[in-house]
Amino acid sequence: MGVVGLSLALLLAALVALCSAARSDAPRGVSVGFVFDPKAQCDPQCSHGGICIRNHTCFCSKGYEGESCQYANCYPKCKNGGTCLRPGKCRCPPGFGGRYCHKVTCDGGCWNSGECTAVNGVAKCICPSSWTGSRCQEAICPQGCRNGGVCVAPGICSCPEGWLGGACHTAVCTQSCLNGGKCISPEKCRCRPPYSGPRCEEKKKFH
């Protein structure tokens, strides 16, 4: 290689020197650090506006490098496995963003004060202790929510009709069970013998 870094002005100066030399047939003009051969052939051809200055040597435009100027260069370099698409433009792998792929991005964000962090190169939400799920969107109810209850906030169950209590574990009997009977499910009493009936209000008669 060895041609990257030469300024375009220098190249133009070389061209001017060559043209005037051809016209006057006299060696004059500026001396340059490389030989420009107008018949030079580069195979593969110089990409991205690079100029073939001598056989197999490309003079690359700003922002490109490689034998045929095939690679864009990004400064600062693309981080986290990003690839340089064109000068200064990185394509980032999933989970990373920002101009140089230096930012971790969790798809959909992290809720409830969760923190987006790269774990082994993969973006992940780190959730506070009372939340879980890929985006920390699910509350944790350590007591559990029974009888079809739903955990809606840390430690708080939303209970279906007929159930109450921190874990939706207490059945509701609108009219209380009598004579030592126990409400075992919504509007259902379990009676102590010898009582029976919806509210355990009847005493069986034995003959």
Ligand X SMILES: *[C@@H]1O[C@H](CO)[C@@H](O)[C@H](O)[C@H]1NC(C)=O
Residues 6+ apart with CB under 8 A from 202: 195, 196
User: Do 162 and 172 contact (CB within 8 A), yes or no?
Assistant: yes
Q: What angle do CA 67, 71, 77 make, to 5 degrees?
A: 130
Residue in 109, 185, 111, 102 with CA at minimum distance from that of residue 154: 111
Least CB distance to ligand X at residue 54 (A): 6
Q: Which is nearer to ligand X, 42 or 101 (CB)?
A: 42
Residue bearing tokens 């490389």: 34
d(CA 183, CA 173): 6
Residue whose beta carbon is closest to ligand X: 55
- When the beta carbons of 55 and 117 are compared against ligand X, the nearer one is 55
HSE at residue 192, side-chain half, CA atoms within 13 A, is 6
Nearest residue (CB) to ligand X, 38 versus 49: 38
Q: Which is nearer to ligand X, 38 or 148 (CB)?
A: 38
Q: Applying CB under 6 A, does 187 fall inside the site for ligand X?
A: no
21-50 positions binding ligand X, by CB under 6 A: 37, 41
Q: How far is the CB of 73 from ligand X (least distance, A)?
A: 28
Should residue 55 be labelled a site residue for ligand X when binding is judged by CB under 6 A?
Answer: yes
φ/ψ (deg, to 5) at 122: -115, 130
For the bound state, the minimum distance from the C-beta of residue 67 to ligand X, rounded and expressed in Å, comes to 16
Radius of gyration (C-alpha) of the chain in whole angstroms: 40
Number of residues that bind ligand X (CB under 6 A): 3
Within residues 58-77, the interface with ligand X by CB under 6 A covers: none
Report the residue number, 52 or 167, with the smaller CB distance to ligand X. 52
Residues in contact with ligand X by the rule CB under 6 A: 37, 41, 55
